[in-house]
Amino acid sequence: MSSIPQNYSDEKALVDCVQRFLSKHHVGKLLARCNGLKEKGVSPISLLRYKLSNIFVGRSMYMQQRTGSFKEGFSKNTFYRFLNSSKRQIRRPT
């Protein structure tokens, strides 16, 4: 029995919506101003886009890797280092 949802109809539309939001609100420029960009390797904006897309689509990296549908250009370690990096965590001022 598989618990993986098979509804892919709205997935592309949601991913495009996330991409438009990031472009419209200049999130890449915001990351650059916060010293969140890299000179080489995977760009943080693509990691952020991937994470937000997974949130709204309702998928996880773990299940994508298990089913073989993970097609991104970065590894699991790169993704988790990005999420756990203290330099890029945005916190509310206290």
48/83 Cα distance (integer angstroms): 9
Neighbours of 13 (CB within 10 A): 10
Looking at residue 24, its pLDDT comes to 94
40/56 Cα distance (integer angstroms): 28
Chain position carrying tokens 């916190």: 91
Looking at residue 45, its pLDDT comes to 87
Burial environment of residue 88 by CB neighbours within 10 A (0 to 12, 13 to 18, 19 or more): middle
Looking at residue 25, its pLDDT comes to 93
Amino acid identity of 11? E
Tens-level pLDDT at each residue, the chain (94 residues): 455 555 566 778 888 899 999 999 998 888 888 777 776 778 888 888 888 888 888 888 888 888 888 888 888 888 888 888 766 545 545 5
